[in-house]
Amino acid sequence: MSSSEIKPLRILISGAGIGGLTAAIAFRQAGHSVKLFEKSRVLNELGAAMHLAPNASGLVRRLGLVPEMKGGIRVEWVSEYGTDGSLVFEIDASQTTDKYRHPWQLMHRVDMHSALKEIAVAKEERGVPAAIATSSRVVDVDFEENALILENGERHSGDVIIGADGVRSVLRSAVVGGNCSANPSGQSAFRFLLPVSEILADPVTAQFVAKTGKLQVWMADDKRIVIYPCRYNLLLNFVCCHLDARNCSHEEDWGQDANKAEMLDIFKDFFPPMIALLSKAPAGEIKHWQLLDLPALPTWVKGNVALMGDAAHPFLPYQGQGGAQAIEDGVALAAVLPLGTKKEDVADRLKLYQECRYERATRVQDVTRMLGISPTGNREKLNGKPGTPARASGPTTNSIAAGQFAEYNYNHDAYVSACEKLDQFLKEEKERSEDKRCLI
Ligand SMILES: Cc1cc2nc3c(=O)[nH]c(=O)nc-3n(C[C@H](O)[C@H](O)[C@H](O)COP(=O)(O)OP(=O)(O)OC[C@H]3O[C@@H](n4cnc5c(N)ncnc54)[C@H](O)[C@@H]3O)c2cc1C
């Protein structure tokens, strides 16, 4: 193909969250034209932190986002405690630098989101800057015309349509058909942030921040508190997961202001310093998240439309992998659609994207589900009978299983893997066309 014949693909992305923005960067850097449609009026992320595990931190680095330049910090310690404050185990995670190809980091979601947005629209970056239309709620997709349909009636057609519209995706049911909404998992989480300086100033709570870069999990049988720092170790992020039979089925009920008294009541069996720590949560800033789940979908693609991130595979938070898998999807999508891909080849390439990603994302999702809290307690064996109590001391079977799974999870490079799949696909395609020529 001569360079004059090479035409960039017109990529339309519904949703400018972590996955949509990652895909936008990867596509623009590949030389395509990208437009994102975001329902929010302004592009703002949640005031919470996220893991940037090695499988994701390497990918964003390749796209030009250096997490430590944007407040990202390394995980230095991983500890597990019981409700009474007893240490179950502590691992020096600084050694993971040798174990994994990329650093294991923690970042404020706002910092992560802003950094991705900056790169997606930057003039000086490789390729043409992506365009972001805010206040643009996507309500449907027209597969004949290959067009996104907005709430205001506007239609935008492109060569590739990506559904990166999150856990409550609209494009999911358009692609898969029928009702495939994510459902309450029976678990919810309170989330908030506290300044490290405030915790350090109180002798009762200073112990929680004695070490920097510490990821600590406080386990009860049917609830857990996950605490880790972000933004240059200045803020401490709390995710307090518990069983919750309520059904907040409306979008508006989600991520809502939470009742502090309710949170303190749910976690009242933890030792007094933890209660003192939780009591510092600013009443108006605690958010309650109902954790939604969805069994693996039969497909993520239809024609020239593909789902990614939470739209394709919503994640429970127990491995901090939802954002990471969305990042892997975004990078893989662009890898299988390099510049020069013809519009008529897009549908097959999106099937290839699904082949690259489906098994892995589903596996990570399954293991995450198993690591979640359940009415039978956290200490059940993953491969044994549910509810079998583990040893009273020592790491829970959950922790051991999570550690073993981390090798598989963290050492994966979704970009290299998708490029290898594309090479193989093109080789086989060439062989097929040569076979056909021989027959003529
Ligand atoms: C309690 C909790 C803790 C978590 N912790 C971690 C963690 O530590 N690490 C991690 O990797 N992941 C974590 N996750 C998961 C992570 O937040 C998600 O998996 C990740 O944000 C998915 O990215 P996404 O782009 O698919 O969706 P989102 O980031 O949710 O983005 C979707 C975007 O689409 C927009 N949108 C939605 N509908 C429409 C529409 N109709 N039209 C246009 N725009 C639309 C939304 O406004 C949003 O901007 C956690 C999740 C929870 C609930």
pLDDT at residue number 386: 34
Query: What is the Cα–Cα distance from 278 to 402, expressed in whole angstroms?
Result: 26
pLDDT at residue number 84: 96
Q: Is the CB of 309 under 6 A from ligand 1?
A: yes
pLDDT tens for 95-151 read: 766 788 899 999 999 999 999 999 999 999 899 999 999 999 999 999 999 999 999
Q: Is the CB of 141 under 6 A from ligand 1?
A: no
Query: What is the Cα–Cα distance from 164 to 176, expressed in whole angstroms?
Result: 14
Q: Is the CB of 239 under 6 A from ligand 1?
A: yes
pLDDT at residue number 389: 32
| Ligand 1 atom at minimal distance to the Cα of residue 311 | 26
DSSP-assigned beta bridge partners for residue 188? 242, 290
pLDDT at residue number 244: 87
Query: What is the Cα–Cα distance from 200 to 198, expressed in whole angstroms?
Result: 5
pLDDT at residue number 402: 63
pTM above 0.75, yes or no: yes
For residue 250, give the DSSP letter. S
Q: Which of 12, 25, 38, 156 to mutate to test the pocket of ligand 1 (most atoms within 8 A of CB)?
A: 38
Question: What is the residue extent of each domain of the chain?
Answer: 3-46+56-63+109-181+297-428
pLDDT higher than 90, residue 39: yes
Q: Which of 294, 206, 231, 170 is nearest to 162 (CA)?
A: 170
Q: Is the CB of 189 under 6 A from ligand 1?
A: yes
Query: What is the Cα–Cα distance from 416 to 332, expressed in whole angstroms?
Result: 9
Question: 3-class DSSP state for residue 18?
Answer: helix
Q: Which of 107, 254, 97 is nearest to 185 (CA)?
A: 254
User: Domain 3-46+56-63+109-181+297-428 in CATH: superfamily?
Assistant: FAD/NAD(P)-binding domain (3.50.50.60)
Q: Angle at Cα 190 formed by Cα 112 and Cα 377, nearest 5°?
A: 115
Q: Which of 145, 153, 112, 152 is nearest to 12 (CA)?
A: 145
Query: 364 CA distance to ligand 1 centroid (A)?
Result: 17
Q: What percent of the chain has pLDDT over 90?
A: 73
Structure tokens at 437: 């020529």
| Contact status, residue 104 vs residue 410, Cβ threshold 8 Å | yes
Q: Is the CB of 19 under 6 A from ligand 1?
A: yes
By annotation, the residues acting in catalysis are 191, 228
Crossing angle, helix 322-336 and helix 414-439, to 10 degrees? 30
Query: 391 CA distance to ligand 1 centroid (A)?
Result: 36
Query: 166 CA distance to ligand 1 centroid (A)?
Result: 5
Query: What is the Cα–Cα distance from 436 to 159, expressed in whole angstroms?
Result: 28
Q: Mean of the per-residue pLDDT values for the chain? A: 89
Structure tokens at 104: 């294991």
Neighbour count for residue 21 (Cβ, 10 Å)? 33
Tally of helices (H runs) and strands (E runs) in the chain: 12, 20
Query: What is the Cα–Cα distance from 246 to 57, expressed in whole angstroms?
Result: 35
pLDDT higher than 60, residue 400: no
pLDDT tens for 238-297 read: 999 999 877 655 554 445 667 899 999 999 999 999 999 999 999 889 998 889 999 999
| Ligand 1 atom at minimal distance to the Cα of residue 139 | 41
Q: Which of 12, 14, 37, 50 to mutate to test the pocket of ligand 1 (most atoms within 8 A of CB)?
A: 50
The end-to-end CA distance of the chain, in Å, is: 24
pLDDT at residue number 439: 65
Q: Is the CB of 322 under 6 A from ligand 1?
A: yes
Query: 343 CA distance to ligand 1 centroid (A)?
Result: 29
Query: 409 CA distance to ligand 1 centroid (A)?
Result: 20
DSSP 38-87: -SSSS----S-EEEE-HHHHHHHHHTT--GGGGT-EE--EEEEEETTS-E
